[in-house]
Structure 1
Amino acid sequence: MGFSGRTALVTGATAGIGRAVAAQLAREGADVIVHGRDAVRGEEVVAEIKATGGSARFVQADLGNAEDVQRLADTVGDVDILVNNAGVYKFQSTAEMTAELFDLQMDLNTKAPYLLVRELAPRMVARGHGSIVNIGTVAATLTTTATGIYAASKAALEHLTQIWAAEYAKQGVRVNTVSPGPIRTPGTAADEATLKAIADGMTAMGRVGEPEEVAEAVTFLASDSASYITGAVLEVGGGRPAIGG
């Protein structure tokens, strides 16, 4: 896709979708900033990228803390690509949801991306170009029990995607969202039977997706190949709309 000379920050890049995105962007020539909370896993990802000829470095930060989000933005400086991937999901009914878990999901899934865009997008504007890709979820547009706060936090991120796209479109910065369906990650693989049942019921393909398949979509939207695309929500969900899932 031609990312040589460009710097990409991928949040939550030490596992799952984020790790696959970081690896894919590095293969395409980007200098990748791997973000995460676990320094050991972060350095493992950096080592894997460098072993295949890529360029990467690790920056540790807790995105549940606004001051740490600011520190991350200050540390990375100018970036050409921002992938807001870090997030958390805690499925509970309204009666069971605690204030602490509410705040955690809103802080990580919505507030952290907002603060990073607030800090990094103006720097992209100053250089005349940039691409921001948010990682959403099909749950943002589905009505299912026990996913209320998670879905709401991601729905907010999808709405912000369109607001940011309109705000920055004429200033050279594109903003899009990739919305994954059931994907096999370390967080979901613990209950493979449930994951497969979800895939069987809500995807036309009838299978679970892989992180690399999401990474391909993110890489496309981040690239100049998507130069006329902004404000879009690209679903990577195995054809869910085709069967009304």
Structure 2
Amino acid sequence: MGGRMQDKTALVTGSTSNIGRAIAEAFAAEGAHVVVSGRNRERGAQVIERIRTAGGRADFVEADLDGSAGASRDLAERARGALGGRIDVLVNNAGIYPGGTTAATDEETFDQVYAVNVKAPFFLTAAVAPAMAQAGGGTIINLGSWIARLGIPVGALYSSTKGAVETLTRAWAAEFGPMGVRVNAISPGVIVTRAVGESKPHPGEIMMKGTPVGGVGSPDAIAHAAVWLASDEAAFVHGTVVDVDGGRTGAAVIFV
């Protein structure tokens, strides 16, 4: 167990699986008291057990971030209660990704994706950042996506929400940074959670061809970046989108 987040408190949304779970576990391993949040109580209990078995501190707060301001405020309030009255680090990770083309996307799906991916973190940040500032400071980390800046033929709806999140990151850095609240984002590449012993190629592998790394990443890669952004080591980092994407958006490997 490290100590880069010793005595800090953290709320990680959508942390019952995949990237969110890896971030919650990494925060706890670095000494933070973490609130694991999500809709599935059983999976939440499993994450809590893993963290506590490893010697960390964690509590589960069930929440369905449907985009309403009330749901976001309620989560902030209950998370503060579980963490002893304050939230030092907020990770806006929860999101949904329905694939599909623009013409095949109906209005109900459009509204739902924007509600979960944009409205929920917007109102959660609104409920958390001022209290962070009043307490002396804090850190907010948003999850973007590589397809916010590199277009692909499907997923226009999802990529547009992540573009909004990355824009909000810069706007919030300007708004809350002078109050002592650092706001940054992580833009993951194709991330795959593999089952133990699984060796079958993942469909996402093709999207990482031609990159420096040449393959998909793991949730731990994102968690390492989140720990750094949440720690004092990143104290001079504001309004930045950190690409953790194997070079997908920044470099092309051309084979001759």
Common fold: TM-score over 0.5: yes
1:106-149 deviation digits (Å, cap 9, x = unpaired): 11111111011100000000011100000110010112222111
The letter for the 2-side match of 1:79 is I
Equivalent residue runs for 1:1-245 within 5 Å: 1-66=3-68, 67-77=70-80, 78-185=86-193, 192-201=201-210, 203-240=211-248, 241-243=250-252
The list of structure 1 runs, each at least 4 consecutive aligned residues, that deviate by more than 3 angstroms after superposition, is none
The letter for the 1-side match of 2:43 is R
Deviating more after overlay: 7-16 vs 70-79: 70-79
Identity, % of aligned positions? 42
The letter for the 1-side match of 2:16 is T
Query: 2:178, 2:90 → 1: CA distance?
Result: 18
The letter for the 2-side match of 1:238 is G
Deviating more after overlay: 102-111 vs 36-45: 102-111
Query: 2:242, 2:78 → 1: CA distance?
Result: 30
2:184–2:240 Cα contact (<8 Å) kept:
yes
How far 1:5 moved relative to its partner? Answer: 1.5
2:5–2:230 Cα contact (<8 Å) kept:
no
Query: 1:62, 1:102 → 2: CA distance?
Result: 18
Query: 1:91, 1:233 → 2: CA distance?
Result: 24
Query: 1:176, 1:33 → 2: CA distance?
Result: 20
Query: 1:171, 1:244 → 2: CA distance?
Result: 42
1:225-245 deviation digits (Å, cap 9, x = unpaired): 000001000000111212189
The letter for the 2-side match of 1:30 is A
1:80-103 deviation digits (Å, cap 9, x = unpaired): 000000101111111110112111
TM-score by length of 1: 0.94
Seen in structure 2, the aligned counterparts of structure 1 residues 153 and 82 have a Cα distance that, compared at 3 Å, is same
2:83 maps to what in 1?
Answer: none
Query: 2:167, 2:67 → 1: CA distance?
Result: 23
How far 1:185 moved relative to its partner? Answer: 3.0
Backbone CA RMSD of aligned residues: 1.6
How far 1:63 moved relative to its partner? Answer: 0.6
| Structure with greater helix percent | 1
Query: 2:124, 2:230 → 1: CA distance?
Result: 16
5+ unaligned residues in a row in structure 1: which ranges? none
> Could you say what secondary structure the match of 2:116 adopts?
helix
| Number of residue pairs matched by the alignment | 241
Query: 1:166, 1:178 → 2: CA distance?
Result: 17
Query: 2:67, 2:149 → 1: CA distance?
Result: 27
